[in-house]
Structure 1
Amino acid sequence: MEGRADILRISASDAQDRLDGCGAYGALKIRPNLKAAAWARRFDNSQPFLLGMIREICTRLHSNPRVDTWEGLDHEIDAELKAYALHPGSRAYARHAIENYLDAHEVGGADIDPLTFRLFDPQVAVGPGRTLTVWSPVYESGTGIREVRRLRFGGVRPPGETPDRWTAVAARVAALTNPVGDIGRIRVTEIGLGDGSFQVLFDGTPESTLPLYEGIALASLRTIDTARTMTPGYSCQDCKIAGCCGAIEEFDGFLGQESPGEGTRSVSARDIEAYGTCAARWHLDMACHLPKERFTGAGSRRGSLIHHWIATAHVRSRRCVPSDVGDFSDPDSFTSTLTADEYAEVSPYLRQHLATCPLGEGIRLIATESPLYGYDRSADVVIASEPDALYTDADGCFVIRETKTTNQRLPRDDREAFERFLAVPWLLNLLGTGYRGPHRAESARLELEVLSRDESRLFTWDLRDGAALSAARAAVHLRSAAWHRDTTWAASPGEQCAWCPVRRWCPEARAGADED
């Protein structure tokens, strides 16, 4: 690492979000002057930072006299948005969010004196080299009220019995920021840009923010500061040392791309499948995180229940047997946390699993549904996977096991299974790029277990099968090439629009639904 480790800048979001997951990520995040000597994250600037753009437009519109009428507001929002190169779906959401913010500004301030925007993102010193900050617009009234606002893509969250850590830090920063005049009241509020919801998270005197901060947030900030554990996970995609971190795997060449894309990205097999269906859906849902509708079909829900049962059953480190899948009321049945109705729905599939359960004598279970992260240096991409099970067999061979459920007919052979399920070439490619599990076994294989109500089938690919590894490498390269280079994320309207979770924001999705 290079730079000074004693300079800390801790945000309210750090206080709220950095206690879980990788400790080193949080400790590095709050040290802006400390950087990796051998690697630097590249940022994709092809699209603007959506929340930042929205709040800047909103604060400009506060003082625009043309927004007094609906027609004037509509025209001015259009004029503001034209200055930004936006995806059509992001543009639709931004328009909606700006209108909701301005409405919430009026409604939320109806019972207090008029508020005027003052500044963004206040920072206050709390010790030598230590700064507290909050990513928020700050408003003030002429009568001594100061308000900081938390913005959410969707709606406000249900309040807890006590303020959360974000609120405690935000309130303290607001109290310590130099006032224009005398500040006697601090408000921390929250606005849901997706639905225009508004709530007050804290309302008190500047003096009352100190015990709130010390009682709720301070201990957590000290934990984040001193954390050193390195746990690969979701934060890898944003980490400043992902490309040179010894805690994640080296998957150089995994995607088969010869050069980096627009910026450092993260991808999983699920991402590539979603992108293949519609690039706009992937961008708006998985990259922009816009508010979404939930379309969880019966098959998806059933698959989740089956995976949950198998994962919890395997934690016992013994083979699943017929008595595990008896009647729900039978005390010998392993019902996990399923309800009686859920168990009745999935038990036919679970009985088919008994014939292909991987556990038994000599089997050493390593992990179930454990996230696996690596870095492809050639593509500058973090590779994310979550195999259903990792184990070593009686001969010491390392095995990746993936389980799929279906109401269709089962694949006839290995080739059909390879082509139907992207997880097969994806996980085979993990083996092909050198992954051998935590014990670095010399031999390895991939197993695909496919379950239906009436039968199960197990497909196997061995590390020694050079043709299978070559086919996997080619499949991953082909499926990821367009995603790797894309910066426009064009929509692909079709029947999938009917259940697209972000169709609300996509003009082409609405057109596709009309055609259907």
Structure 2
Amino acid sequence: MRVLDRFEHHGVELDRALAEDASFRRCLPAHRHWTADAVRTYLAARERSERLRTDAGHPATLPVRHEWVAIHHAAHPDARGAQRYERCAWGRRYASADGLVRELWLLSVNELKLDRAPAQIAAAASVLAFGVPARKSRHTRWYEPVDVNVPPARVRVIGVGCGDGEVEVLADWDVHEVSERYDKLAKPVLTQVMGRSELVPGSDCVGCKALAECPEPPRTPGLLHVPAPTRPRERRSVSASDLRRHSECPAAFHLTRVLHLNDGRPENAAIRRGRAVDAVLNESHTRRPRNGCRDVPMPEVLPDLPPDEADTAARMLAQHRGVCPLDGLPAHEQVLVQPRLTAYDPELDTVVIADPDLLHTDAGGWVWRETKTVSRPLWEGRSLLATYPQLALAVVMMAAGVPGGDPRRSRIELEVLRGDGVSCEEIDPFEASTLDEARTVLAALTGPWAADQTCAPNPGPHCASCEVRRWCPSRQGEAAR
């Protein structure tokens, strides 16, 4: 966005904007390589869209520097004690020369995002239709109008993928239609969101200024069993998947787990199959009334998979029916399907995230179930905790009181599904030797991650299938040679 600001608002030539270090404060080299691709892809997509519009007789649109902000100021405080509300919409802003057409381009970092909620689109369109040009002053916490407002007659909300360059018009409405859709779609959602007060801990806790005073997430000093880095770091979140990816390649970890980038290549067969099995089990486990999977017909056809993968996945689902933990579970027990569990390690200033496949109560305790799909039996010569670091994280979290419950009735279960069989393992997170092993496994992964400042590449066989290789510094070096 800083590069686009320099190009669109300050008239800086594109190559120069991409070369300016000021546009890349605190960006690692791989991030910079991706930005060059993304900016050019975005500008090419916008140029194509503009050409089609003007060829059809519609007015050209020009970059708008200031935000549009819909401001409501009441004479008296409302039930929440607020008098002023501001609604903004993030994206790239454009308008026709006469101000009668406004556009908001919503950027996705990879492929075009096709699942934006109708309420989100209506809310963005409302900001365009009824917002005024405004900016925040350094001396106030709110937006102040900065220019004469020319109310538009028509607004357009456009989605664009910075990876694939695909464009889709999400809204092209006159202000009357915007008002109707906002009242019908967006306003009820905003009212509901503003009326909620429950705590929902998760990765958003990383940037929350109220974390120090908040009762959630639970404080677990020393959870990850590594000391704080010698150089201060901003608060971060981490999961077992993050740690595993970092141990394989720090550069790939930064691009995929921090920046959420990929080059659009399809996932490999094992991942596709695992996701398909996971989706079917989640749907079955959330079905009401809850009866488990033993007597529930599992799909014999999974249309999103090719025949060979679909056949293996169907056999895995059939194997699960015999070991489903919800079969016979009393109706009063609580069942959570892929809940987000969060803990805060203040010594490392890190929010720790875990997403069990299934979590349910059992006579006062909690049972943490992880389900894995594999093509061959587990190798008995390697520890389960080392093979699956999420089990090690589950051990230390449960031992630290997350999610709570009676330790005598709490346990971790690993369900391993194969096309030709199934196995289940039980782990006691409160057994001293198990806890020591879990801490050792996590410390070996967390220590390098916590101290890493550069996210340098770690070339190896995994590079062949890496979904972010095109932006990797090591490959850029190869191209330069």
Query: What TM-score comes out, normalization by structure 1 length?
Result: 0.73
2 CA distance for matches of 1:362 and 1:512?
Answer: 57
Q: Can you give the 5+ residue segments of structure 1 that lack an aligned partner in the other structure?
A: 1-51, 68-72, 325-331
Q: Say yes or no: does 1:171 pair with 2:135.
A: no
1 CA distance for matches of 2:375 and 2:278?
Answer: 15
Question: Which residue matches 2:85?
Answer: 130
2 CA distance for matches of 1:319 and 1:226?
Answer: 35
1 CA distance for matches of 2:425 and 2:118?
Answer: 52
Q: Say yes or no: does 1:335 pair with 2:299.
A: yes
- Partner amino acid, structure 2, of 1:121: E
- Partner amino acid, structure 2, of 1:79: A
Q: Tell me the SS of whatever aligns to 2:263.
A: coil
Question: Which residue matches 1:375?
Answer: 344
Count of residue pairs the alignment pairs up: 443
Q: Tell me the SS of whatever aligns to 2:383.
A: helix
2 CA distance for matches of 1:376 and 1:451?
Answer: 33
2 CA distance for matches of 1:60 and 1:169?
Answer: 24
Kept in 1, the 8 Å contact 2:457–2:473? The answer is: no
- Partner amino acid, structure 1, of 2:29: P
1 CA distance for matches of 2:220 and 2:417?
Answer: 30
- Partner amino acid, structure 2, of 1:218: K
Q: Tell me the SS of whatever aligns to 2:351.
A: strand
Per-residue CA deviations over 1:331-352 (Å, capped at 9, x if unaligned) read x744398569576323443454
2 CA distance for matches of 1:202 and 1:309?
Answer: 33
Question: Which residue matches 1:27?
Answer: none
Q: Say yes or no: does 1:98 pair with 2:46.
A: no
Q: Say yes or no: does 1:460 pair with 2:423.
A: no
Q: Tell me the SS of whatever aligns to 2:344.
A: strand
Shift of 1:132: 2.4
2 CA distance for matches of 1:174 and 1:257?
Answer: 49
Q: Tell me the SS of whatever aligns to 1:219.
A: helix
Question: Which residue matches 2:137?
Answer: none
Q: Say yes or no: does 1:121 pair with 2:67.
A: yes
Kept in 2, the 8 Å contact 1:124–1:176? The answer is: no
Shift of 1:478: 1.9
Matches within 5 A, 1:92-241: 92-110=33-51, 111=54, 112-113=58-59, 115-128=61-74, 129-152=84-107, 153-158=109-114, 164-174=121-131, 180=148, 182=150, 185-190=153-158, 191-203=160-172, 209-233=178-202, 235-241=204-210
- Partner amino acid, structure 1, of 2:65: L
- Change in CA separation of 1:218 and 1:357 when aligned onto 2, cut-off 3 Å: closer
- Change in CA separation of 1:150 and 1:485 when aligned onto 2, cut-off 3 Å: farther
Kept in 1, the 8 Å contact 2:95–2:101? The answer is: yes
Question: Which residue matches 1:79?
Answer: 19
Shift of 1:466: 0.6
- Change in CA separation of 1:397 and 1:88 when aligned onto 2, cut-off 3 Å: same
Shift of 1:55: 2.8
Matches within 5 A, 1:485-496: 485-496=451-462
Q: Tell me the SS of whatever aligns to 1:254.
A: coil
161-170 or 476-485, larger mean C-alpha shift:
161-170
382-391 or 185-194, larger mean C-alpha shift:
185-194
Q: Tell me the SS of whatever aligns to 1:143.
A: coil
2 CA distance for matches of 1:507 and 1:317?
Answer: 51
186-195 or 260-269, larger mean C-alpha shift:
186-195
Kept in 2, the 8 Å contact 1:175–1:206? The answer is: no
Shift of 1:274: 1.4
Matches within 5 A, 1:231-270: 231-233=200-202, 235-242=204-211, 244-259=213-228, 262-270=233-241
Out of 4, 8, 23, the residue aligned to residue 59 of structure 1 is: 8
- Change in CA separation of 1:276 and 1:367 when aligned onto 2, cut-off 3 Å: same
Shift of 1:291: 4.6
Shift of 1:376: 1.8
Per-residue CA deviations over 1:189-244 (Å, capped at 9, x if unaligned) read 43433344445545566676544543443333222221223334554444444454
- Partner amino acid, structure 2, of 1:53: R
Question: Which residue matches 1:399?
Answer: 367
Q: Say yes or no: does 1:444 pair with 2:410.
A: yes
Query: What TM-score comes out, normalization by structure 2 length?
Result: 0.77
Question: Which residue matches 1:388?
Answer: 357
2 CA distance for matches of 1:184 and 1:304?
Answer: 45
Q: Tell me the SS of whatever aligns to 2:456.
A: coil
Shift of 1:379: 1.7
Q: Can you give the 5+ residue segments of structure 2 that lack an aligned partner in the other structure?
A: 75-83, 135-144
Per-residue CA deviations over 1:45-83 (Å, capped at 9, x if unaligned) read xxxxxxx3233222246x34xx4xxxxx43x24433575
- Change in CA separation of 1:460 and 1:412 when aligned onto 2, cut-off 3 Å: same
- Change in CA separation of 1:146 and 1:478 when aligned onto 2, cut-off 3 Å: same
Kept in 1, the 8 Å contact 2:95–2:103? The answer is: no
- Partner amino acid, structure 1, of 2:125: A
Shift of 1:269: 0.8
Kept in 2, the 8 Å contact 1:410–1:457? The answer is: no
Paired-residue identity, %: 26
Question: Which residue matches 2:256?
Answer: 285
- Change in CA separation of 1:406 and 1:149 when aligned onto 2, cut-off 3 Å: same
Per-residue CA deviations over 1:375-427 (Å, capped at 9, x if unaligned) read 22222222111222334557x554322222222332326x5322212122111
Kept in 2, the 8 Å contact 1:411–1:417? The answer is: no
- Change in CA separation of 1:120 and 1:233 when aligned onto 2, cut-off 3 Å: same
Per-residue CA deviations over 1:88-113 (Å, capped at 9, x if unaligned) read 22112211233234334544444155
- Partner amino acid, structure 1, of 2:245: A
Per-residue CA deviations over 1:321-365 (Å, capped at 9, x if unaligned) read 5xx5xxxxxxx7443985695763234434544665445557656
- Partner amino acid, structure 2, of 1:135: W
- Change in CA separation of 1:57 and 1:197 when aligned onto 2, cut-off 3 Å: farther
- Change in CA separation of 1:201 and 1:338 when aligned onto 2, cut-off 3 Å: closer
Kept in 1, the 8 Å contact 2:341–2:403? The answer is: no
2 CA distance for matches of 1:405 and 1:271?
Answer: 20
2 CA distance for matches of 1:362 and 1:206?
Answer: 54
Shift of 1:492: 1.6
Question: Which residue matches 1:430?
Answer: 397
460-469 or 199-208, larger mean C-alpha shift:
199-208
2 CA distance for matches of 1:388 and 1:298?
Answer: 20
Q: Tell me the SS of whatever aligns to 2:391.
A: helix
1 CA distance for matches of 2:312 and 2:157?
Answer: 44
276-285 or 204-213, larger mean C-alpha shift:
204-213
